[in-house]
Structure 1
Amino acid sequence: MNDLIQLGPITIFIPSALTFCLPILTYFWTYLFCNRYNDEHSSTLPGKWFEAWLIVYAIWKFSYILIHPVKAIENPLTILYFSGGTIGLILGLIVGLLYFFIYTKRKGIQMEFVLSVLLSSAFFYSALYSFQYAFFYDMSQWRILFTQGVYFLIFATLLYNKQWSSNLGSQLRISFWYLVGYICFQLWLHDIKNQSLFVWGAFGIALVITIKDIKDGGPT
């Protein structure tokens, strides 16, 4: 296959290798975002975001050893191809976010600015991931995935506008917009048929707030 590279006993899947390009591009986006606000920590905050991402990825990847210790011991190379799944991702996000928030708290950085950075970088990263998945993993539904990427990119761009990320209320509402769009696209992709009532409840609340914001002209 053209999307595989063989290095001795190790087979590298090129799209998976390209995954490491996503946080690098997001790092530059975060750098531009911080400079947009002329924050005194704009030179260091993008680096801390990148370090937090590395923590999330490392825990997500190597938590496979904790979840499947026998398989990892019997065949250590499985670590290269498998991960800790949802449990590992949640654990990684908790630790990565704690690392980022502890740093910003020690430096006295305003919470509104910190959340703006996290939200904008999350939207931008989600957009890149959607584009990658559209063109390397699921070509049969690339139009839906590409549209999803554009949707996320729009919100990353909106957060670049100071008016849209000036306070916690606006950031929360934009997060609701993100949730509405994400669930709609997942419904479109037919892989969210059996979600819990909690998810549907959150979707309903987010949809109501989204409609209200559209009617009022957007978050303020």
Structure 2
Amino acid sequence: MQDALQVGPFLLKTQWLVITLSALVGYFGMRYRLKAAGYPDKRIIETIENSLIIALMVWKFSLILFDPVSVVTNPLALLYFSGGERGVWLAAVVVLFYFYHRAQKDQVSVWVYGDLLAAGFLAAIAAYHLIDLFGDKQALWADLSEILIALLIFRVMLSRSQGIAKPNNLNQILLWFSLGQVGIAFLNPLKQNYWWGFSQEQILYLILATLCLAIDLFAEKKRLNKAKHY
């Protein structure tokens, strides 16, 4: 896949287009999840639409924060560059705070937005790796596995339409996604071993999966203890 595309006088980085398209798919994934769960609240839909715009703007213009010298010396850099991976993480943090603020303002459970974010993320991941199939033949099996896991977990979310605001369901989704990422990494030919054949990313996902499992076991133990008192 080409690194950039010429559109008239502008040179667009392919990465921008891929991320933008993936974000749009994620948006429709959130809307579909919302519809499947029977939440017709227009305020939630409005929040989703605003969050997509905010995320794209923060990602694009975060270059001002991460590389202000380049922007000052060459303002046109904003047309051709973005905040990159750091900009993506910053956009994610900003959107999280935005969702929390709107949840408090609209008196909606924050877990509803957490569920929608998870659904949008899974849809975006599937779209991103589907596009990547056409450009990175080395990671073919890794991309296919990413798509399969994302779609399977998304399907499970849709089957639990009444659990949109249940943190336990989100915890299990995160658990299985983390374990899936650990396994998929072994299919990546560019994986760099860090400890006992695991990459740093795999170790982080293993830690996250362990934390999710501990939370799940604690919640189950608490539920059983509560049941004994009745």
TM-score by length of 2: 0.75
Alignment of structure 1 residues 105-124 onto 2, 5 Å: 105-124=104-123
Contact 1:64 1:84 in 2 (8 A): yes
Structure 2 residue aligned with 1:56: 55
* 2: CA distance, partners of 1:112 / 1:200: 22
User: Residues 87 and 29 (structure 1 numbering): CA distance in 2 closer, same or farther, change over 3 Å?
Assistant: closer
Distance 1:113 1:68, change over 3 A: closer
Counterpart amino acid of residue 68 in structure 1? D
User: Contact (CA 8 Å) 1:5, 1:14: kept in 2 or not?
Assistant: no
Percent of residue pairs identical: 18
Q: Secondary structure at the match of 2:6?
A: strand
Number of residues paired by the alignment? Answer: 207
Deviations 1:129-176 (A, max 9, x none): 11122223x133223212211211111111111268352112101111
Structure 2 match to 1:35: 35
- Paired residue type of 2:38: N
Match of 1:148 in 2: 146
Structure 1 residue 99 displacement after superposition: 0.9
Question: What SS does structure 1 have at the residue aligned with 2:75?
Answer: coil
TM-score by length of 1: 0.78
- Max radius of gyration: which structure? 2
CA 1:21–1:117: 2 relative to 1, 3 Å: same
Relative contact order, higher structure (CA 8 A, sep 6+): 2
The residue aligned with 1:16 is 16
- Say if 1:61 and 1:176 are closer, same or farther in 2 by CA, change over 3 A: same
The answer to whether the Cα contact below 8 Å between 1:124 and 1:152 also exists between their aligned partners in 2 is yes
Q: Kindly tell me: are residues 17 and 112 of structure 1, through their superposed partners in 2, closer, same or farther at Cα, counting changes over 3 Å?
A: closer
Instruction: Quote the residue 1:4 is aligned against.
Output: 5
Please report the RMSD computed on the Cα atoms of aligned residues, expressed in angstroms: 3.0
Are the structure 2 counterparts of residues 113 and 196 from structure 1 closer, same or farther at C-alpha, using a change threshold of 3 Å?
Answer: closer
| Contact 1:33–1:117, Cα closer than 8 Å, also in 2 | yes
